[in-house]
Structure 1
Amino acid sequence: MADVLEKFGNTPSLGEYYSNAESEPELDMDALHTLPLSIVPFQTSGLKRARMIKNIQLEGVVELFNDKKSGSGQVNINQLSTVFDWSEDIDGKDQNIIRKLSTINSYDVYTLRISLRQLGIEVNETKQLKLSESKNKELSKYMVEFTRPLMLQIYGDSDSNIDSLDQIIGMFKSPDQTKALENLRKLANSLRIKIADIPDFIEDYGDIFMSLAYFKECSDKILPNVSIFVSDIQNFKENSHLSSQLDLMKSCEYLENTLNYITISLTGRFESFEKHSQDMWNDINPEIFRKVKGMIASHHATLGGVLCGLAVKMARWQEKFSDGRGGPVQRSEFVMSEMRAGIGLIEQIEKSAPDFSKY
């Protein structure tokens, strides 16, 4: 497993997923594991100030508060009646919504767009299901990769001075080259749309590839931490006391094999996205674009579920044991009590990902 992940280099921080990470309302929608309940039209006023989060067991729980001094105040959904007065929830609608929200595997905006619709849950404003401006800017380095074929199609070169998706869209709304305008007409003909509709296509294109950029950035942060975790538990074999504990050794083997499968499968998915995206520009037309767009969108929920589960697990390990903290015994106990549970769910989500052969 460690060999599979060598290429990821230095281990990124997962501090945003730490148990004592304070809530930042304007950034909550950028996270995989948090859902500000203020976006849902609850009747119970107290719920609007809380968040739904994924805990270390990958359960959806309601977080009433979170700060460095008091920590995270989490309540299981089955115990909410001890905290909230449900008299405002006359028809039990709020409790039903909470139960449904707890079943969603990830609270990233792309998974939520799909899952909330499937579960019949309304939000106050659909436009709230979007990434923050700061996150959009942060993803620009990934977006340049995904939009380079589009820029080459129109301009014949790429512009490295792009900081946001809006700039990319703006380039095509106001092309500053005669050649670019000619190429825009060709692109419009290929897509069988009017040249005036090109900006809408660009925004549609940008939105679907922004989702891919988002998940790729998450993956680039999380997978190196998976490598560190696997390397850490492999060290248990070198400890004479721990290596004699059959249950521990069996659990470590299970974790290593399962995380190896998940990592290889997840990496393969991103490679397939890249190939299909590049191939699309060999003969761009409406059918091919819809096909690639549909392919990426069909993977949103499983990408989110896998990455959310891994992020929560690996962040807890990093938070507790990074920089050499914790001895072998303490680490092994944490593996058995906290890390093992839920890995099977992540594997199950990865195995349920759509088959690329259908595209």
Structure 2
Amino acid sequence: MADDPISDHDRDSLHILPLAIIPLRTSSLRRARLVKNVQLDSVIEFFDDPSTGSGHLNIESLPHEYGWPEMPVHPDLKVLRNLAKLSSFDVYSLRVQLRELGIPVNENEALRLSPRKAEELTVYMRDFTRPLIQNIYGTDDLEIQCFEQLVSMLRNPNVKQALQKLTVMAETLSIKVEEIPGFLEDYGDIFLSLSYYKQCLDSIEPTITDFLEWLDQLNTSWQGRSDPQLNATCRVIEDTINGTMAAISGRLESFYRNTRDMWESVSAERFRKVETLIKGYHTTIGGQLCALTVKIQAWARSFPSKNAGGPARRAKFLMTEMRQGIERVRVFETNAPSVAALR
């Protein structure tokens, strides 16, 4: 929508949903964003400026703000109440969740990563494309800058060996050789989703490591030992973060392994199975990463260095902002499908 441009930052975010992509009736809401706050609640954000702060409004306050009657419920309020329940606002989770809710979007490209983000993920995509290149060309030394470049190479294979391999692959998949590039394009986005989640995980890992080190120090300090409630909170947060990070890493590694193995005995059935299983984890991994990212970014903003904030202030932040909503992270893991099906 030309009148409601969506920034690359918003499009690529885990915790920001630009409402311009949702067919709302209220024009000022279409210019706003739905964001996850540090308590992991969804709130309407009308502005966010480093100098003036953020302008947030609870969804249930909208009828009073806009003069909507209690009954019948305004259509925009119905939509926003459903959106507020979503676990993550990343494009891959949104594809699943919006479809389940029957909520359309305003443009076909709204639920795709920005070109800039896709380019950033090239280094991660190589982990997925390397086995395919090796399988077809017999080498992984080719300079592939993006998945689209690989697809283009397969449209015009200039190596005899590659053409022979593509012919065998086409027979295995029961499709024509010229249909292989289009077939692979369907899966490029699946690989891109894993690259996206891996980058999100890598981006927060250093801050989480620093936070857990401080948490361990607090837990073993006199302050931590003498305050049972603080001690218990430390343990819950530490166990939740460690468990969630391990679960995400384990699943991503399992997906990497299965995509590598897939090319060794490729078949249409195996292709579809891997696709279905990975899509089935989008909301789980997206929700976990969204929650961890929001929490740890709030911590980093409040305490940008190891010396920022005294022990009392940090402990207070831990007991309020960090603790509130942390149980939702555990729910994602409880409701996650079994990864054993991939092995």
TM-score > 0.5 by shorter chain: yes
Please list every run of 5 or more consecutive structure 1 residues that lacks an aligned counterpart in the other structure.
1-22
**Which residue of 1 is the match for residue 218 of structure 2?**
236
Name the stretch that deviates more: 175-184 or 234-243.
234-243
Secondary structure of 2:45's match?
strand
**Which residue of 2 is the match for residue 357 of structure 1?**
340
Secondary structure of 1:83's match?
helix
**Which residue of 1 is the match for residue 295 of structure 2?**
313
* Cα deviation 1:144-191 (Å, max 9, x = unaligned): 111111111111112453322221221211222122111111111111
Secondary structure of 2:264's match?
coil
* Cα deviation 1:220-270 (Å, max 9, x = unaligned): 112332222111111113532343111101110111122222122222111
Q: CA RMSD of the aligned region, Å? A: 1.8
1:107 corresponds to which of 86, 89, 98 = 89
Question: Take 2:58 and 2:73, find their aligned partners in 1: how far apart are those partners?
Answer: 21
Displacement, 1:91?
6.3
Question: Take 1:161 and 1:276, find their aligned partners in 2: how far apart are those partners?
Answer: 24
Q: Contact between 1:111 and 1:304, CA under 8 Å: does it hold in 2?
A: yes
Question: Take 2:9 and 2:238, find their aligned partners in 1: how far apart are those partners?
Answer: 33
**Which residue of 2 is the match for residue 300 of structure 1?**
282
**Which residue of 1 is the match for residue 162 of structure 2?**
180
**Within the alignment, does 1:343 sit opposite 2:326 as a pair?**
yes
1:25–1:82 Cα change, 3 Å = farther
**Which residue of 2 is the match for residue 6 of structure 1?**
none
Name the stretch that deviates more: 167-176 or 102-111.
167-176
**Within the alignment, does 1:323 sit opposite 2:286 as a pair?**
no
1:81 corresponds to which of 49, 59, 63 = 63
Secondary structure of 2:303's match?
helix
Displacement, 1:134?
0.4
How many correspondences in the alignment?
A: 336
**Which residue of 2 is the match for residue 275 of structure 1?**
257
2:140 corresponds to which of 158, 163, 173 = 158
Equivalent AA in structure 1 for residue 206 of structure 2: P
Question: Which aligned pairs between 1:89-100 and structure 2 lie closer than 5 A?
Answer: 92-100=74-82
Q: Contact between 1:243 and 1:249, CA under 8 Å: does it hold in 2?
A: yes
**Within the alignment, does 1:245 sit opposite 2:227 as a pair?**
yes
Q: Contact between 2:135 and 2:264, CA under 8 Å: does it hold in 1?
A: no
Between the two structures, name the one with larger relative contact order (CA 8 Å, sep ≥ 6).
1
**Within the alignment, does 1:334 sit opposite 2:317 as a pair?**
yes
Displacement, 1:292?
0.7
1:203–1:244 Cα change, 3 Å = same
Question: Take 2:202 and 2:186, find their aligned partners in 1: how far apart are those partners?
Answer: 25
* Cα deviation 1:30-85 (Å, max 9, x = unaligned): 01000110011111111110000100010111100111122111111111223335
Q: Contact between 1:242 and 1:329, CA under 8 Å: does it hold in 2?
A: no
**Within the alignment, does 1:169 sit opposite 2:151 as a pair?**
yes
Question: Take 2:153 and 2:10, find their aligned partners in 1: how far apart are those partners?
Answer: 30
Secondary structure of 2:66's match?
coil
**Which residue of 1 is the match for residue 205 of structure 2?**
223
1:39–1:85 Cα change, 3 Å = farther
**Which residue of 2 is the match for residue 263 of structure 1?**
245
Q: Contact between 2:173 and 2:267, CA under 8 Å: does it hold in 1?
A: yes
TM-score computed with the length of structure 2 as normaliser: 0.93
Name the stretch that deviates more: 183-192 or 96-105.
183-192
Equivalent AA in structure 2 for residue 204 of structure 1: D
Name the stretch that deviates more: 100-109 or 171-180.
171-180
**Which residue of 2 is the match for residue 63 of structure 1?**
45
Secondary structure of 1:74's match?
strand
* Cα deviation 1:74-104 (Å, max 9, x = unaligned): 11111122333548x9862111000000000
Identical aligned residues as a percent = 41
Q: Contact between 2:90 and 2:286, CA under 8 Å: does it hold in 1?
A: yes
1:159–1:169 Cα change, 3 Å = farther
**Which residue of 1 is the match for residue 172 of structure 2?**
190
Question: Take 1:227 and 1:50, find their aligned partners in 2: how far apart are those partners?
Answer: 34
Please list every run of 5 or more consecutive structure 2 residues that lacks an aligned counterpart in the other structure.
none
2:119 corresponds to which of 137, 144, 147 = 137
Equivalent AA in structure 1 for residue 211 of structure 2: F
Displacement, 1:309?
0.2
**Which residue of 2 is the match for residue 27 of structure 1?**
9
